[in-house]
Amino acid sequence: MAKVTEDYLEARRQEILEAAARVFIRRGFEAATMQDIAAEADVSAGLIYRYFPGKDDLIVSVCCSCEGPYPSLDDAEILDEPDPLGALRRVGESLWGAIETDAGHMRSVLALQSIVAGAREAGEIPDALAKNYWGHRDTIALLIERAQARGDISTEIPARNLATFLVAVTLGMETLALVPDESGLDVSGTWEVLTGLLSLIETRADPLNEEQT
């Protein structure tokens, strides 16, 4: 009998997660059943239970997998960068670039929103789902605090409030990108407007401007 490899098991697990995300999008968090997900993944419900003890565990795993192949805001490499303002910009560019070009990221956004709606209807938001939003906000706030400590961003604006604003704008753009726009949604142009606004609270001197003065 051929030995089942770890790669095969992980691939099958990922297929189940992707099927679950599609079912959550179509049916919602509360209405979706393990049988629905099994049919979508073309596997038996028993096989799904070998990977996930129950639907709640599957929901948590879908939430955790929805970050996709983008830089994790919990990544120690990002948090320990000597230039927190630069790290903050790179995270923003990665996420906003994904909104514009990555269909997989947008499917994850749609799945997350469906899960949020279903969880709200059921009266309970899974901890993993809350962390997906507020954990990112708190990490961004930490980057802002470090940039403020270096004198790169004005300390007049509370870091946590600024981080909440950035997360809200990004989530709003992700939501808009899900709705067809006949005139075309200019994600890049909106990102430039956002970075232009943020430059007003940056205190770090621009080397080019210094040379010209």
Residues 193 and 137 in one domain: yes
> Helix or strand or coil: residue 133?
helix
Does residue 183 lie within any of the structural domains? yes
pLDDT given for residue 159 in this prediction: 96
- Look up the CATH number of the domain holding residue 95: 1.10.357
- Look up the CATH number of the domain holding residue 38: 1.10.10.60
Does residue 104 lie within any of the structural domains? yes
Does residue 213 lie within any of the structural domains? no
Distance of CA 185 to the CA centre of its chain: 20
Domain boundary among 65, 94, 116: 65
Does residue 177 lie within any of the structural domains? yes
Name the residue range of residue 51's domain.
Answer: 6-65
Residues 59 and 127 in one domain: no
Residue 68 pLDDT grade (very low, low, confident, very high; cuts 50, 70, 90): very low
Residues 112 and 166 in one domain: yes
CA-CA distance, 5 to 11, in Å (whole number)? Answer: 10
In total, how many domains does the chain have? Answer: 2
CA-CA distance, 198 to 100, in Å (whole number)? Answer: 21
Residues 196 and 92 in one domain: yes
For the entire predicted model, the pTM comes to 0.73
pLDDT digits over 86-106, tens only?
999 988 888 898 888 877 777
* 145, two tokens: 């605090």
Residues 128 and 38 in one domain: no
Helices 159-177 and 136-149: crossing angle, nearest 10°?
130
Residues 82 and 55 in one domain: no
Residues 45 and 135 in one domain: no
pLDDT digits over 137-167, tens only?
888 999 999 999 999 999 999 999 999 999 8
* CA end-to-end span of the chain: 75
* 4, pLDDT greater than 70: no
The listed range with the strongest mean pLDDT (17-26, 30-39, 72-81) is 30-39
Does residue 210 lie within any of the structural domains? no
Contact 94, 2 (CB under 8 A): no
Residues 39 and 123 in one domain: no
Burial class (CB in 10 A: 0-12, 13-18, 19+), 206: exposed
Would you state the torsion angle of the CA atoms of residues 21, 22, 28, 34, taken in this order, to the nearest 10 degrees?
Answer: -70
- Compute the radius of gyration of the chain from its Cα atoms: 20
Measuring CA to CA, which residue among 27, 120, 136, 126 is closest to residue 75?
136
Residues 31 and 127 in one domain: no
CA-CA distance, 164 to 161, in Å (whole number)? Answer: 5
Residues 15 and 101 in one domain: no
H runs (alpha helix) in the chain: 6-27, 34-41, 45-51, 55-65, 76-79, 84-101, 103-122, 127-130, 136-149, 159-177, 187-199, 207-212
Does residue 129 lie within any of the structural domains? yes
Does residue 1 lie within any of the structural domains? no
| 88 Cβ neighbours under 8 A, 6+ residues apart | 140, 143, 144, 147
